[in-house]
Structure 1
Amino acid sequence: MLKRPFLIACFLSLTACQTTQDAVQADASDQQTHIKPTQIQTQTDVIKAQPFPTAPIHEEDIWQRIRQQISFAPSSHPRVIRRVNWYLQHPNYMDTISQRAGPLLYYIVTEIEKRGLPIELALMPLIETDFDMQAYSHKHASGLWQLTPLIAKHYGIEINPWYDGRQDLIDSTRVALDFLTYLHKRFDGNWYHAVAAYNTGEGRVLRAIENNRKAGKSTDFFALQLPRQTRHYVPKLIAATQLLKQKLMPFPAIANTPAITTVSLPAATILDRDPQWSMLAELNTGYARFPALLGGPNRLIIPVDKAQQFQAYAKNLPTMPSNQWQTYTVRRGDSLSVIAANYELSVRQLKSFNQLRSDTIRIGQQLVLPVLADQHYTYTVKSGDSLWRIAKQFNVSVNKLKQWNALSSSTLQIGKELTLFLTAP
């Protein structure tokens, strides 16, 4: 019974020793926390001054590898304390997080270290999506790092009917870290401002800073007038780092070894339906119509312990299995662009499938096209329907329904047509 108050007392004493006086006024909602904050810390100079530690490669647990590198200063601000309390009141939460993060976290941490970025960024997928690679938001953001289509495409991510790189671990991590690096420079090295801008947009943060500057107020993150979600976004990240750094609650161990690797594939590969490879869909959520690996980077993420087995399997895998490709006969009025649009392909893909060197086709010519699924089904939304109910009816996931139909919200309109790609039972 005494363990949690003792941990909180230790937490407050540690943070109070490292804070400096600031005249920032906490908003009304911050006063409701049952742990009173001590001094509010001025974050900016502390973050700029502290170098990022060298990676402790000897650690056996990836969480401890992160813990040893944490450089953000702790805070006793009410928003941080309230989030710490929330974590402590949900002790099983980190069990779920560790289970989801297990295959992903080593890769993310390694990519952050390669760039010399603060290790705290490895916890952003926890704050964004609870390490859910298929998460969607009402703001049209998607994937582990909640990238919007605009940001994703600006940094070179492919988004098409077959593949959404925002839901791919490798593509999305690259773009998220590119974007965060840009924001860090944009905000003169202040990571809290950069992380806030990642959440709400750089324009809002810049305006908030300028408004405070004109009013003679502090430009510390906690002093800025930002949307409510953003005001609590950075404190969530700080709270998670403090929980780990100060060992306020257990983080179930994840081995500090590579969990995944990649294998290169020929263009236009469709896996067969061997059940032993069905689990690969969970690591390759960027491919909207798995096992059709089309429209993406021609690689597959696989568990390290399956690498040799898959390499042997892939050697004998036809690029175009006959039962998953169909023949199309060119008709009068057809063109590559018309056929490609009808089958939700690009002209480049269509030419690649058929080894065409030009855009010229002739009537009667045979083309090969991928089979969309065992059944390509259109469902019309009725009164009382929900994504959950439709997903249950067709034995698919809600996330797949959203991905197939580019839905960023769970709200459906009566009469809306949804596309489903169903496999044979």
Structure 2
Amino acid sequence: MHFFRTPCLFFLLFLGGCATTSDHSPQPPLSAPSEPTVSQLPQHKASQSKPSPSEVILLKPHQHNDVWQRIRSQLAFEPTQHKKVQARVDWYMSHPNYMDVISVRAAPFLHYVVEQVERRGLPIELALMPLIESDFNTSAYSHKHASGLWQLTPLIAKHYGVKISPWYDGRQDIVDATNAALDFLSYLHQRFDGNWYHAIAAYNTGEGRVAQAIKKNKRRGKSSDFFALSLPKQTRHYVPKLLAAAQLLREQKMKFPIIANRKAISVLTLKQGVILNTDKQWQKIQTLNPGYTRFPALLDGPKHIVLPVEQVKQWQGYLAKLPAMPSSQWQQYTINRGDSLSVIAARHALSVAQLKTFNQLKSNNIRAGDTLLLPILADQQLDYTVRAGDSLWRIANHFNVSISDIKKWNALSKDMLRIGDKLTLFLSNS
């Protein structure tokens, strides 16, 4: 893992923390509990609450039937009765259906995230962070241009090797985004001398702000623990949100719908880009691989693909007998004299590799008069100017596309549009 050393990067990270949703609960002040450090964290500690008779025999993490209980059995942060945490507990309790929605979204991904946290020996509470960051919404965007389950900003994502291109946004890939988020959290943990509350706060608002707040309190002879720091309102609510979710799970005050404690997804090697001949057959792939912004063209992404475990054999059979792509789905280009793959690719903002993959070409040889398919899922690309009275819903409905696609194509972090904004739309007659 690379640490940030230069003043430029430090300044950027001072401003560029990861974003999350706003808090709606009251925030009364109170003195802070002690915070966990490396030496204070118990390893794989069982629940702090009094065990019920059914829990007298402690299970190993993988032996639980439910992923939520797997998390519960390893909660490591000390319980706290701080009023900010209890206010958030009350908020959760007043929204009894909240965890129903969260569990549906989390079901494909939570087991994977838990395994990655365990593999690194990190506090299991970190597996709850996508709940706080994005409500386990893989396509979530924030006003700070953060994206995905872990709400990574472009700056942080690129620093940790996550690819972002017009074709692919790896912040929405469960594998690359989870690796980057846990790398960043591990760095912040070390940066703040083993204090997890400080590290988690810095993940939200940037390490510079947290470091400055700590320095300011120490200079004034005040406590430097998280609850005593002067931080942005969003960040002051952020850590309590996580601690409240952990408390609800520890004390079983709220129903967490069961998510089977078994592998839900498989991560398979993807040696080259793939163009699916029908998106209806592979809708689950789109759900699990939202980083591909021009689905079903799986181009310019990572060297892996995420699949439901039950579709692995079907996928392997599909690749073994890769069917021809229906030309009616894609734009067509007739090769002219003097054309080359590099010329055609450059003309359409593609790489030669993408063009070859898309047309299943094994060489660079092409002939005038032949037809190539262009990886644009549309009959036309339209540049649309927002007019008075427009909304994302109105535009999506008019052009028969989805709001989420419009936001992906244009990297929109919110639903608000302004008159005169330019939107790129990919339209299809099919």
- Classify the TM-score, shorter chain: 0.7 to 0.9
Which of 95, 99, 106 aligns to 1:94? It is: 99
Which residue does the alignment assign to 1:422?
427
Which residue does the alignment assign to 2:43?
52
Shift of 1:207: 0.4
Which of 27, 40, 48 aligns to 1:30? It is: 27
Deviates more, 1:326-335 or 1:377-386: 326-335
Shift of the 316–246 alpha-carbon distance from structure 1 to 2, 3 Å rule, reads same
Give secondary structure in 2 for the equivalent of 1:245: helix
C-alpha distance in structure 2 between counterparts of 1:275 and 1:351, whole Å? 24
CA contact (8 A) 2:279 2:296 kept: no
AA aligned opposite 1:199: N
CA contact (8 A) 2:32 2:225 kept: no
C-alpha distance in structure 2 between counterparts of 1:105 and 1:48, whole Å? 27
* Runs of 4+ deviating beyond 6 Å: 331-335
Shift of 1:320: 6.0
CA contact (8 A) 2:76 2:123 kept: yes
CA contact (8 A) 2:72 2:250 kept: yes
C-alpha distance in structure 1 between counterparts of 2:337 and 2:80, whole Å? 69
Deviation readout 1:205-236 (Å, 9 max, x if unpaired): 00001001111111100000000000000100
1:412 equivalenced with 2:425 (yes/no): no
1:230 equivalenced with 2:221 (yes/no): no
C-alpha distance in structure 2 between counterparts of 1:158 and 1:339, whole Å? 24
Gaps of 5+ in 2: 1-25, 46-59
Which residue does the alignment assign to 1:371?
375
Which residue does the alignment assign to 2:67?
62
CA contact (8 A) 2:169 2:291 kept: yes
Shift of the 121–406 alpha-carbon distance from structure 1 to 2, 3 Å rule, reads same
Which residue does the alignment assign to 1:203?
208
Shift of 1:371: 3.2
Shift of the 331–115 alpha-carbon distance from structure 1 to 2, 3 Å rule, reads farther
Shift of the 330–141 alpha-carbon distance from structure 1 to 2, 3 Å rule, reads farther
Give secondary structure in 1 for the equivalent of 2:315: helix
Which residue does the alignment assign to 1:130?
135
C-alpha distance in structure 2 between counterparts of 1:94 and 1:364, whole Å? 59
Which residue does the alignment assign to 1:290?
295
Shift of 1:277: 1.6
AA aligned opposite 1:168: D
C-alpha distance in structure 2 between counterparts of 1:52 and 1:397, whole Å? 46
CA contact (8 A) 1:269 1:320 kept: no
AA aligned opposite 1:223: A
RMSD: 2.6
Shift of 1:302: 1.5
TM-score scaled to structure 2, two decimals?
Answer: 0.83
Shift of 1:315: 1.6
AA aligned opposite 1:50: L
| Equivalences for residues 322-361 of structure 1 within 5 A | 324=330, 326-329=332-335, 336=342, 339-346=344-351, 349-350=354-355
C-alpha distance in structure 2 between counterparts of 1:259 and 1:319, whole Å? 30
C-alpha distance in structure 2 between counterparts of 1:285 and 1:154, whole Å? 21
Which residue does the alignment assign to 2:34?
42
CA contact (8 A) 2:355 2:375 kept: no
CA contact (8 A) 2:284 2:308 kept: no
Which residue does the alignment assign to 1:18?
none
Deviation readout 1:18-42 (Å, 9 max, x if unpaired): xxxxxxxxxxx6339xxxx7x6312
Give secondary structure in 2 for the equivalent of 1:204: helix
1:104 equivalenced with 2:112 (yes/no): no
| Equivalences for residues 247-326 of structure 1 within 5 A | 247-273=252-278, 275-318=280-323, 324=330, 326=332
1:394 equivalenced with 2:399 (yes/no): yes
Give secondary structure in 2 for the equivalent of 1:261: strand
Give secondary structure in 2 for the equivalent of 1:419: strand
Shift of 1:415: 2.6
AA aligned opposite 2:281: Q
Shift of the 390–159 alpha-carbon distance from structure 1 to 2, 3 Å rule, reads same
Shift of the 292–274 alpha-carbon distance from structure 1 to 2, 3 Å rule, reads closer
Which residue does the alignment assign to 1:188?
193
| Equivalences for residues 144-183 of structure 1 within 5 A | 144-183=149-188
C-alpha distance in structure 2 between counterparts of 1:230 and 1:254, whole Å? 29
Q: Percent identity?
A: 55
Shift of the 263–368 alpha-carbon distance from structure 1 to 2, 3 Å rule, reads farther
Which residue does the alignment assign to 2:224?
219
Shift of the 319–190 alpha-carbon distance from structure 1 to 2, 3 Å rule, reads farther
What is the number of equivalent residue pairs in this alignment? Answer: 387
Shift of 1:279: 2.8
Give secondary structure in 2 for the equivalent of 1:344: coil
Shift of 1:51: 2.7
CA contact (8 A) 1:183 1:198 kept: yes
Give secondary structure in 2 for the equivalent of 1:240: helix
Shift of 1:110: 0.5
Which of 78, 82, 86 aligns to 2:83? It is: 78
Deviates more, 1:248-257 or 1:390-399: 390-399
CA contact (8 A) 1:70 1:245 kept: yes
C-alpha distance in structure 1 between counterparts of 2:279 and 2:92, whole Å? 41
Shift of 1:356: 6.0
AA aligned opposite 2:335: T
Shift of the 363–271 alpha-carbon distance from structure 1 to 2, 3 Å rule, reads closer
Structure with bigger RCO (C-alpha 8 Å, 6+ apart): 2
Deviation readout 1:319-358 (Å, 9 max, x if unpaired): 766554744536769893x64454232455447665567x
